[in-house]
Amino acid sequence: MLLPLLLLPMAQAVDVARMAGPITIDGQLDEPAWSEAVPITEFVRSSPTQGGAPPGLTEVRILHDDSVLYIGVRVDHARPVRYRWAPREDLNQDDQIGIFLDTFQDQRAGYVFYLNPLGVQQDLRVNAERWNFYWDAVIDSMGRVDGNTWELEVAIPFRSLKYPAVDGPQEWGLILQRIDIHDMGVYTFPITERHAPSVFSQAAPLRLEPPRRGSGLEIMPTVTAIQQGSREADGDPLEWTGFRQPLQAFRPSLDARFGITPNIGFTGTVNPDFSQVENDEAPIDLNQRFAFWFPEQRPFFLDGFDLFEDRHEILYTRSIVEPVGGAKVGGKEGRVSVGLLHAIDQSPRESVHEHGAPGFGPEDVEGALAANSVARVAVDVLGSGYVGLSFADKRLLPPGGGPAGSHDIGGLDVRLPLGNRWIAAGGALASHTADGHGDALTGYGFSGEITRFSGIDTGGFLRGMWSHPDLRMETGFATQTGLGQVSGRIDHTFEPGIVDTVMPFLEVEVRSEADGDGWARAQAQVEIHEGPHGLGVWYGHRRVWEDTIKVDGGYVGAWYWARPTAWLEMNPVAYTGRVLDFSRLAPAQSTGLDFRFTLWPTRHIRLDTSIGQRWLDPEDDPVERSTRLRGKLGYQFSRTLGARLIGEYSGGTTLDDSFVGSALLTWLLHPGTGLWLGYAETGTLSGHYTVYDRTVFAKVSVLFRP
């Protein structure tokens, strides 16, 4: 059934009792204190279809003392529980409970915690419907499984959260989720509707009395010991970095956080660590036109990152390649959130832009430092909406004090809710870039959109943007400017009864570049979901024009996702279509086939395998082919100790055959405190296997919270 959003704010409030006795986090709700909390039991299915109670029993109890918020969970599935020993964050294949906390009750931002039946943790931040999956919090949890039932205890220190700086009782927002992975059912308290414009707009009031204090002081020293060996040519010996430069062989770093007020915090870093604990899975594309985007992993940049997020992506933190230090201040007071960041980069990158367009060239960044400053202020408006201002400044500091390049960019962006399902958003930005040699660029851009969220209904969007050719984003991520683009979509999700949901949709997009190039496409697609199965099929027609070449043709593709058993997940994808070969500026046929599957032969082992094949068939040249085979084997000894092996082969007709392998042993007590031992190598398979790069490292970090 479809539930109107107007009924959702009437959800019953939850009063959190103050504990009268101690609780030990051991996964057993046997302490007398738990009996003081009234259990929450009224869970209703929200996805993939709406309506109906979960199978078996679900009870959630909430308590707190002067420093910790406690959550106790008891679930009876009426079937065997699905759970595994897994690294932190890796629990999406398990039964789980979700805890959503809107600590400012502003319906726009909050904290989300997911836990599996053993207490394996996953956490993230939500701000204006932007989901920050890299945010980490220090919490304690433990679960126990007994046949069809499981119990879980969670302790969330108040110092891990930010909330209003007031004395006495407060009212937060609360949403609880129970995820039954067997049929992909999601059950919530209170009743929630799919795809609402703001997830926290549907929260129930949570009444409690937390302490009046901020996140306190946190200090995290890290030391990475690393040795790297490389050879330039086959037959040469590996040249190791050795210990001639102690600060390169032993890389100390320090991160510190301090709560200036309960809601405003300071973060500082010196020589932040960026050892590749998990290898980036580098994509392969035979017809790649622009630079790839990579996720952030450094704690300094992840902490409070949502304070800097805007619709323009003025801050792309990986553009700050190798900072020697940085400082950041941010938080929220009332309706106003603010973020200030400054970092000195000792390896600034050159401009990333199509066709080497003017900006910072190799000669400008060679041997230079770069001072990066970013600021953002956002004001809450109209419930879950906001108005934000962002500004960034980048200054090159060349050796010897020569001509210095500079870049400034500022932007305005807004998000306005219009009724229950409608959102309007837009923005404008402008930049000025000078290379220090008398050449300067000034550019600007605009964007706007209106969206209707579908739920079990009709949805869609209409978007438009335009940017001047001289717009630059040296602190952000924009591979191309000087273009205009309009796109639209209409979809309708319904429940036919034979399967859970069916969603057909139509998308149209037109793009025109300042130099006369561009493309247009129209695509029809249908997605079908039934329990742990999903199927998508699409057909489209595309026209691409560049210089004097025009390519016109159709494309077709399909994907299938399934978790047919508790020990197998698979996801094949196939597509083919007529494209423009950008390297030859000629028509070509592009075909791809990817197959990914995951096996869990035991509760401790996970095996991920992916096979990717690409073909590019130019009209007047031989077919180009690339292949990638990747395997990842993980063994989790306990919640804190795990190991993984990765092996990846890539090669093809125009690519050298290569192999990348790595091994990692991880002991992670909680975010900030852990030990890593790693090994990685890269080699070629031309004739015989030759290692060209080899790395051995050990890393230890400790989080102190005095």
When pLDDT is cut at 50, 70 and 90, the band that residue 126 belongs to is: confident
Q: Are 153 and 70 in contact (CB under 8 A)?
A: yes
Among 610, 611, 619, 569, CA closest to 590: 619
Q: Above 50 in pLDDT, residue 307?
A: yes
Say which residue, 304 or 406, is predicted with more confidence: 406
**Exposed / middle / buried, residue 282 (Cβ in 10 Å: 0-12, 13-18, 19+):** exposed
Q: Above 90 in pLDDT, residue 447?
A: yes
Q: How far is CA 259 from the centre of its chain?
A: 25
The CA distance from 571 to 502, in Å, is 19
pTM score: 0.86
C-alpha separations of 70 from 38, 88, 124, 362, 600 in Å: 13, 20, 18, 54, 32
Q: Give the angle subtended at the CA of 138 by the CAs of 136 and 144, to the nearest 5°.
A: 105
Say which residue, 188 or 583, is predicted with more confidence: 188
The CA distance from 330 to 341, in Å, is 9
pLDDT score recorded for residue 279: 43
For residue 505, list its beta bridge partners.
Answer: 491, 525
Q: Which helix (H) or strand (E) holds 302?
A: helix 299-302
Secondary-structure percent of the chain, ordered helix, strand, coil, rounded to 5: 5, 55, 40
Burial 574-613 (b: 16+ CB within 10 A, else e): ebbbbbbbbeeeebbbbbbebebebbbeebeebebebebb
Q: How far is CA 659 from the centre of its chain?
A: 27
Q: Is 678 helix (H, G, I), strand (E, B) or coil?
A: strand
Q: In what order do the strands lie in the sheet with 68-76?
A: 17-18, 57-64, 68-76, 149-157, 140-146
pLDDT score recorded for residue 338: 93
The CA distance from 323 to 326, in Å, is 7
* Other Cβ atoms closer than 10 A to 648: 19
Q: Are 646 and 632 in contact (CB under 8 A)?
A: yes
Say which residue, 183 or 122, is predicted with more confidence: 122
The CA distance from 697 to 689, in Å, is 23
The CA distance from 471 to 409, in Å, is 9
Q: Give the angle subtended at the CA of 316 by the CAs of 610 and 705, to the nearest 5°.
A: 90
Q: Are 465 and 480 in contact (CB under 8 A)?
A: no
pLDDT score recorded for residue 358: 58
pLDDT score recorded for residue 603: 94
Q: Above 50 in pLDDT, residue 14?
A: yes
* Other Cβ atoms closer than 10 A to 61: 21
Structure tokens at 649: 């082969």
pLDDT score recorded for residue 296: 72
**Exposed / middle / buried, residue 204 (Cβ in 10 Å: 0-12, 13-18, 19+):** buried
Q: Is 548 helix (H, G, I), strand (E, B) or coil?
A: coil
pLDDT score recorded for residue 193: 78
| Percent of the chain clearing pLDDT 70 (strictly above) | 92
pLDDT score recorded for residue 51: 84
Residue type, position 142, single letter = M
Say which residue, 294 or 39, is predicted with more confidence: 39
* String of DSSP letters for 323-389: EEEEEEEEEEETTEEEEEEEEEESSPPPP--GGG-SSS-HHHHTT-EEEEEEEEEEEEETTTEEEEE
pLDDT score recorded for residue 3: 39
User: Lowest mean pLDDT: which of 3-17, 223-237, 503-517?
Assistant: 3-17
Residue type, position 477, single letter = F
**Exposed / middle / buried, residue 667 (Cβ in 10 Å: 0-12, 13-18, 19+):** middle
| Percent of the chain clearing pLDDT 90 (strictly above) | 51
The CA distance from 541 to 554, in Å, is 4
The CA distance from 680 to 440, in Å, is 43
Quick: pLDDT tens for 407-439: 999 999 999 988 778 899 999 999 998 877 777
pLDDT score recorded for residue 418: 86
C-alpha separations of 451 from 235, 336, 424, 505 in Å: 60, 25, 6, 14
pLDDT score recorded for residue 8: 43
The CA distance from 273 to 283, in Å, is 24
Say which residue, 535 or 689, is predicted with more confidence: 535
C-alpha separations of 594 from 141, 183, 626 in Å: 37, 25, 12
C-alpha separations of 470 from 52, 292, 311, 358, 407 in Å: 55, 21, 19, 8, 12
pLDDT score recorded for residue 11: 63
Over residues 35-41, the mean pLDDT reads 91
Residue with tokens 């070449």: 549
pLDDT score recorded for residue 560: 97
Q: How far is CA 176 from the centre of its chain?
A: 22
Q: Which helix (H) or strand (E) holds 282?
A: none
When pLDDT is cut at 50, 70 and 90, the band that residue 703 belongs to is: very high
Q: Are 693 and 684 in contact (CB under 8 A)?
A: no
User: Lowest mean pLDDT: which of 134-138, 191-195, 604-608?
Assistant: 191-195
User: Lowest mean pLDDT: which of 97-101, 232-236, 381-385, 410-414?
Assistant: 232-236
**Please, where are the H alpha helices in 151-237?**
none
Q: Above 70 in pLDDT, residue 282?
A: no
pLDDT score recorded for residue 291: 47
Q: Above 70 in pLDDT, residue 508?
A: yes
Over residues 295-322, the mean pLDDT reads 82
Q: Are 153 and 68 in contact (CB under 8 A)?
A: no
pLDDT score recorded for residue 79: 87
Q: Above 90 in pLDDT, residue 391?
A: yes
Structure tokens at 64: 């707190």
Among 581, 567, 655, CA closest to 612: 655
Over residues 19-29, the mean pLDDT reads 89
Mean pLDDT of all residues belonging to the chain: 87
* String of DSSP letters for 393-443: EEEEE-GGG----EEEEEEEEEEEEETTTEEEEEEEEEEEEE-SSS-EEEE
When pLDDT is cut at 50, 70 and 90, the band that residue 541 belongs to is: very high
Looking from the CA of 517 toward its CB, the CA atoms found within 13 Å total 14
Quick: pLDDT tens for 610-660: 999 999 999 888 999 999 999 999 999 998 999 999 999 999 887 788 999
pLDDT score recorded for residue 290: 41
Q: What is the DSSP letter of 662?
A: E
